[in-house]
Amino acid sequence: MTNNILMKTNNDIEPIKKNETINNHRGVLAVVSGFSGAGKGTLMKELVNRYHNYALSISATTRDPRDGEMEGREYFFKTHEEFEKMIAQEEFIEYAMYVDHYYGTPREYVERHLNDGDDVILEIEMQGALTVKKKFPEAILLFIVAPSLSELKARLGKRGTESIAVIEARLKRALEEADVTDSYDYIIVNDDLEACVKEVHSIIQGEHNDLDLSREKLRNRRVIADFKAELEADILKQK
């Protein structure tokens, strides 16, 4: 079952195909973005440690590993050539260039976990988030912000992993991106980690109820469409 089916309107409903099932247990796809230094990484790690229904997607990137980062844990680190080969082989749901480096979300991992009923979290920047929303319209988009610019700068400085030039490039990017936040479903201020983790969890879990409802509605509408198609065939036969 593809996602698109959930978006069908009354007029273009397809009758149920033989042996077709609607995956009622499909997980929620949650996309989390935020300006560099907003604390998304810590927030997401805390969320997946605390609750066990989440699968945190690991992206591929061409940037160098930071101190303490491990291949396959924070990212799959690729060369430019390797990354472009993956693009050509359509291995990404989305990819984007962010401050001179490629970042991309592996397709296979996301689809497998969604189908298994896990709630999948993508921690990606905004261009990528908008691409995901186009391809998976039922995805929810969350934007995390630091309580203030001074706090954001302090966090970036404290991390100590980027040069001043990279920090400045990231702050410039934040300015460019500020207007795109309108496309997000939720904006969450990260001033208290504990409260923020709970809030994100409750938003994603709330989404399950909405999805269940739309799947139920879809199933009922498709039963009617199926019934109608059979009835029309019967009437034709009798003529």
| Chain residues that interact with ligand 5GP, rule: CB under 6 A | 36, 59, 63, 94, 96, 98, 103-105, 123-125, 127-128
CB 211, min distance to ligand 5GP, A:
23
CB 194, min distance to ligand 5GP, A:
22
Please give, one letter per residue, the 3-state secondary structure of the chain. Answer: CCHHHHHCCHHHCCCCCCCCCCCCCCCCEEEEEECCCCCHHHHHHHHHHHCCCEEECCEEECCCCCCCCCECCCEEECCHHHHHHHHHCCCEEEEEEECCEEEEEEHHHHHHHHHCCCEEEEECCHHHHHHHHHHCCCCEEEEEECCCHHHHHHHHHHHCCCCHHHHHHHHHHHHHHHHHHHHCCEEEECCCHHHHHHHHHHHHHHHHHHHHHHHHHHHHHHHHHHHHHHHHHHHHHHC
CB 110, min distance to ligand 5GP, A:
10
Nearer to ligand 5GP, 105 or 190 (CB): 105
Nearer to ligand 5GP, 44 or 204 (CB): 44
